[in-house]
């Protein structure tokens, strides 16, 4: 039996920047779980971003119901202001409201995971994120999981694997293979390297993790570009976006 894949994306575009080739290879077996609504610039932009991801994933052949919105907030990039990083370091039940709201919502007006699964929105707490991540993993039981890396500069990206690993630790008899991917590798002006068709080491990454990286060849860079062009709202930094299009995508296997 073909095992399912779950890609955890903190924001709408991380799934393509980090794992385009993985999704392209097995779209029907891939689920993309969006932890936040990417609503740093408001709920209208969040809706736009949701549709951009849907366009990209539809282009690759991912079924629409394989897009899962957890519906949490995006309050900015530095750790001390970012939503998931702050939440991770709060008490289980401490409410962390955003400028948009204080509970989960679906960016396109549908039902976010918590509402669909438990019949109510979730207040923005650490415990709720953990319950939702665990709920999704229990529903799908993927053989392989892709998630952002703890060394990523964006606080949401750094905290996402902490939630995912904590949820897995709560589950009995479940040992998926976990790969990390980078989006903000230390300095967005210098990484990804703007020239060259393979990646250089992310500035923040330690040498041993880099040495044990897994390089997955990108089959069709033209299609990668076409897919990435779905994200028009994020395209203001075209140099940064297109720097991800190389001959390879890089992953780091989690040592458990």
Could you list the residues that contact Zn ion (CB under 5 A)? 10-11, 14
Pairing of the two strands 214-217 and 248-253: antiparallel
A 10 A CB-CB count for 146 gives 25
Rounded least distance, CB 91 to Zn ion, Å: 25
Of the pair 125, 148, the CB lying nearest Zn ion is at: 148
Rounded least distance, CB 14 to Zn ion, Å: 4
Of the pair 17, 137, the CB lying nearest Zn ion is at: 17
Of the pair 14, 21, the CB lying nearest Zn ion is at: 14
The Cα-based distances of 88 to 42, 83, 159, 218, 229 in angstroms read 22, 9, 7, 34, 33
Rounded least distance, CB 44 to Zn ion, Å: 18
**Residue 32: both structure tokens together:** 């993309």
Rounded least distance, CB 156 to Zn ion, Å: 6
Of the pair 11, 201, the CB lying nearest Zn ion is at: 11
Rounded-to-integer distance, Cα 23 and Cα 15, Å: 8
Of the pair 30, 37, the CB lying nearest Zn ion is at: 37
CA angle 229, 68, 117 (to 5 degrees): 165
Rounded least distance, CB 154 to Zn ion, Å: 6
Q: What's the DSSP call for residue 232? A: G
Rounded least distance, CB 212 to Zn ion, Å: 24
Residue nearest Zn ion, CB atom distance: 11
235: nearest Cα among 8, 13, 19: 13
Of the pair 11, 24, the CB lying nearest Zn ion is at: 11
Q: What is the CA radius of gyration of the chain?
A: 17
Residue 176 dihedral angles phi and psi, to the nearest 5°? -70, 160
SS3 state of residue 51? helix
């Amino acid at each position: 039996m073909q095992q399912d894949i779950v890609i955890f994306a903190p924001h709408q575009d991380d799934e393509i920047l980090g794992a385009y080739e993985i999704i392209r290879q097995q779209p029907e077996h891939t689920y993309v779980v969006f932890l936040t609504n990417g609503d740093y610039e408001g709920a209208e932009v969040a809706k736009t971003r949701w549709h951009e991801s849907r366009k990209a994933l539809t282009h690759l052949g991912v079924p629409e119901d394989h897009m899962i919105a957890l519906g949490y907030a995006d309050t900015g990039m530095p750790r001390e202001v970012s939503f998931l990083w702050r939440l991770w370091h709060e008490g289980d039940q401490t409410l962390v409201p955003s400028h948009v709201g204080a509970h989960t919502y679906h960016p396109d007006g549908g039902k976010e995971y918590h509402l669909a699964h438990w019949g109510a929105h979730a207040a923005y707490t650490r415990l709720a994120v953990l319950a939702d991540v665990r709920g999704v993993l229990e529903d799908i039981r993927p053989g392989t999981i892709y998630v952002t890396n703890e060394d990523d500069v964006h606080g949401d990206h750094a905290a996402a694997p902490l939630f995912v690993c904590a949820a897995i630790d709560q589950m009995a008899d479940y040992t998926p293979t976990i790969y990390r991917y980078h989006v903000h590798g230390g300095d967005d002006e210098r990484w990804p390297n703007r020239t060259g068709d393979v990646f250089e080491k992310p500035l923040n990454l330690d040498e041993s993790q880099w040495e044990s990286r897994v390089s997955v060849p990108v089959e069709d860079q033209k299609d990668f570009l076409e897919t990435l062009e779905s994200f028009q709202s994020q395209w203001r930094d075209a140099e940064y976006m297109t720097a991800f299009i190389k001959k390879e995508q890089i992953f780091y296997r989690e040592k458990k």
